[in-house]
Structure 1
Amino acid sequence: MSRVVRRPRSAVRRPVTISVVAVLVLVAGYLVAAAVVPFGPASASTTTYSAPTSSVPALSFPGYGATAVEATDFPESLRTSGDTKPRSIASITKIVTALVVLDEKPMAAGESGPAITFTPKMESLYAKYAAMNGEVAPMPAGLKLTEHQAFQVMLMKSANNYAGALAIWAFGSIAEYEQAATKWLEEHDLDDTTIHEPTGLDPQNTSTATDLVDLGQLALADPVVKEIVGTKDVTIPTVGEIENSNKLLGLDGIEGIKTGTLDEAGACLLFAATYERGGRDVTVIGVMLGGVDHDSLDVDVQRLLRSVADNFQVVPLTHAGQTFGTFSTPWQDEADAVTAEAAEVLVWGKTKVRATAHLDEVTLGTKGERVGTVRFTVTDHDPVTVPLVLERTIDDPGVWWRWTNPFQG
């Protein structure tokens, strides 16, 4: 007779228990792994930028001679009218004389410079230039003035004998001055300018309107010349009270630079004016050659300057909070990358603006966190870079999403 062998109950349950534990371990491992697996960065896309527009300026040029005008630091603003050939420049020559003499006999801003004792040879220039109907000022032999005072008489009163005397004082003779002036013009790339003598009474002292705009830039860059051409009146020993020959000085922002008058040249003016635009000062430099007289020329200069000043524009590049990109997560969350601040630039005339956004890798983030930049390139302007920040927080989707969407990060 056979017997039935019974196993212990614990032996029967052991495989079932092991299986359950194994499953639980696997499930737990999955849940842990799914919960801690790192997300990849959210997908990022940039938006299309709508650039601001501007127009080509219409300037009020005269119908005679040659004219050029340019806003400093806005090279594309250079505009010209009339002929482009070299023309006689009359006493605008004295700006060249001042800069050439200062190159030889430097004088710092606020200083008087060395004393100059005028010689009989210098004194004789008075009669020479007076006979040519040129502007002159008293200069007796033995008179002592500082270099700064002599410059004032030359540039403000436009006294030809003082221009000649300064050239002789600095270089020994007019011929030596001519050589120095020629070298100085070459060094400063004023290739269309010719200077034979220091006064401008020689009609063969010639230049183009565009060269003279560059000369005006050089004049304003020298603090001594800039200060003197911007002075209305002054009293000089022996010479007496002198007034600036530029009657526009102080009107419409005009701060210089030099008048010129000669039969062959007509009425001429190298001028500069400064305006406040867009929270900054902007300087306009220009020249008019070949006017009928200074009264009508001055009217034309004021009209031209107003038309130039009116063409400065503040162009808004972006407002604060403008969207330049979007981050999208696998759990269907989205957050825009927006500008942290507004930005604008001062431009002149027609201007092109382009924007390029650069977005960082972002997985999670808080509102206001920096996530990239947008760089604006603007005609005649340094690039402008604005930080981009998250418009809203990108939160962790939580454990449940991770468990139900395994490894989708």
Structure 2
Amino acid sequence: MTDRPAIDPGARKRTYRRRRIVVFGALAIVLALLVSGGVYTANALGAPVPVAAPEVSTPHPIVAEPQALALPGFGGYAVGAVGFDGLLAAGNADQSMPSASITKIITALVILDAHPIPAGEGGPEIAYTEADIDIYWDMVAQNGSVAPVAAGSSLTLRESLEAMLLPSGNNYAISLANWAFGSGDEFLTVARAWLDEHGLTNTRIADSSGLSLDNVSTPTDLIELGKLALADPTLAEIVATKSVVVPELGPLENSNKLLGTHGVDGIKTGTTDDAANLLFSADFAVGSSTVTVVGVLLGGENHAVLRSAIAALLDTVGPGFHEVAPLEAGQQVAEYDTPWGDSATARAADGASVIVWSDTPVEVEVHAQPVALAATGDEVGTATVRAGTQEVTVPLVLDGAIDDPGTWWRLTNPGALDAATPQTPQSLDER
């Protein structure tokens, strides 16, 4: 029988200790891997979705050729349009010149400001007396334009304004100022305050009729005055009327002989011993809309020369307006692509068009937001069409969804998730 070597009890203890270290070390490693793997998985599945930045496709600006105009070549003139800032054309636009009977537009606006006429009505009744007959003959003596008046007659305010504006009755301008404010001086006080209030700082008024050469204005101011006149429904109707029959007075003819031609529908003539003037308005159809032009020409040799120059000017102004549609409904303006393969396009929810003058540039500015998760139809920004001071803003909507990348992509793309903006995944509707 072979003798076995004696077992060292200490060695046995050391061996057991080594085995225990190995076993528990392995268990620790396994547990660490399980724990770290669980943390990684939890972090990956709970990490925010990377934000997709838009690739914007901004439409190119649209610029037409400049409109050639037949300019008067004399006097002071300016042309503007309702809803358009600034002047479309001008010459000596800031030069003060006698405005003559265009002053009656100021008189009418100041009176209507104090005594507005409800739509469809004639306004208060005004009784005319011998004092008004005296005013009539005084104007005749001064070679001023007049309209008939009868002592004991009664006219509505509207009828009185028609007598003042259509045949340019100086006598009615004076009688109405006295009726509305008690005296000519009190009228001037109110009228001058009204001019200041409306920013017509280069316009001076010396009487209610315009007979005095001290009634002066500039083409720039008169454009704004014309716009104010057209904004008052009563006044706009009167100045667009060729003729009217007032029972107490008979037929009254408008002194503006351009009415009904070249688009003209107003506003007021003005005549001095040396010059013919016209503050005018004209309507032009542009696409499905109408543009109202307001212009003035001062200093014509006579009214025939003046009308010819204005007609030529308007015939070249009208074609200078055009409708531009730089953005169509459904037009693609931005695209989103994600690292996990989802893609969507931002499109204009509606079309947008603007009416512009001459070579005014039309531009589109796109503001598309970065998105994480989004559903089809979500709004992701705006597209703004700009032309001068005009702005039209249209929402941008997605034509597809950007969904969560899913478990597998999250677990296999840790770098992309680490770079994501810290946020809880959410759709645009939840923001």
**Structure 1 residues 205 and 20: CA distance shift in structure 2, 3 A:** closer
Q: Tell whether 2:316 aligns with 1:307.
A: yes
Q: Tell whether 2:390 aligns with 1:390.
A: no
Which of 345, 349, 356 pairs up with 2:358?
Answer: 349
Which of 202, 207, 221 pairs up with 2:231?
Answer: 221
Which of 119, 122, 133 pairs up with 2:132?
Answer: 122
Matched residue type, 1:263 = D
Moved more, 225-234 or 44-53: 44-53
Aligned pairs (5 A) from 1:10-409? 29=38, 33=42, 36-47=45-56, 49=58, 50-82=60-92, 84-264=94-274, 266-382=275-391, 384-406=392-414, 408-409=416-417
**What is the distance in 1 between the residues matched to 2:363 and 2:258?**
40
Match in the other structure for 2:427:
none
Deviations 1:69-112 (A, max 9, x none): 10111113442124642212221121122122233444333322
**What is the distance in 2 between the residues matched to 1:192 and 1:327?**
56
**What is the distance in 1 between the residues matched to 2:397 and 2:80?**
39
**What is the distance in 2 between the residues matched to 1:351 and 1:46?**
28
Deviations 1:103-149 (A, max 9, x none): 34443333222222222121012222223333222212222212221
**Structure 1 residues 332 and 112: CA distance shift in structure 2, 3 A:** closer
8 Å CA contact retained: 1:66, 1:289: yes
Q: CA deviation at 1:407?
A: 5.9
**Structure 1 residues 389 and 236: CA distance shift in structure 2, 3 A:** closer
**What is the distance in 2 between the residues matched to 1:48 and 1:184?**
50
8 Å CA contact retained: 1:70, 1:78: yes
Match in the other structure for 1:9:
none
Q: Secondary structure at the match of 2:256?
A: coil
- Give the structure-1-normalised TM-score: 0.84
Moved more, 390-399 or 194-203: 390-399
8 Å CA contact retained: 1:94, 1:198: yes
**Structure 1 residues 115 and 364: CA distance shift in structure 2, 3 A:** closer
Match in the other structure for 1:10:
none
**What is the distance in 1 between the residues matched to 2:112 and 2:39?**
85
Matched residue type, 2:398 = L
Q: CA deviation at 1:270?
A: 0.8
Q: CA deviation at 1:215?
A: 1.1
**What is the distance in 2 between the residues matched to 1:21 and 1:380?**
70
Matched residue type, 2:302 = D
Deviations 1:327-368 (A, max 9, x none): 232235543333333222222234345544333343344444
**What is the distance in 2 between the residues matched to 1:334 and 1:207?**
62
Across the aligned residues of Structure 1 and Structure 2, the Cα RMSD in angstroms comes to 3.3
**What is the distance in 1 between the residues matched to 2:33 and 2:50?**
32
8 Å CA contact retained: 2:45, 2:411: no
Q: CA deviation at 1:23?
A: 10
Deviations 1:246-301 (A, max 9, x none): 2222333322111122213x221111122332433321111111222323322322
Matched residue type, 2:75 = G
Gaps of 5+ in 2: 5-22, 418-431
Q: Secondary structure at the match of 2:161?
A: helix
Identical pairs, percent? 44
8 Å CA contact retained: 1:212, 1:270: yes
Higher Cα Rg: structure 1 or 2?
A: 2
**Structure 1 residues 37 and 105: CA distance shift in structure 2, 3 A:** closer
Q: Secondary structure at the match of 2:227?
A: helix
Q: Secondary structure at the match of 2:416?
A: coil
- Give the structure-2-normalised TM-score: 0.81
Matched residue type, 1:297 = L
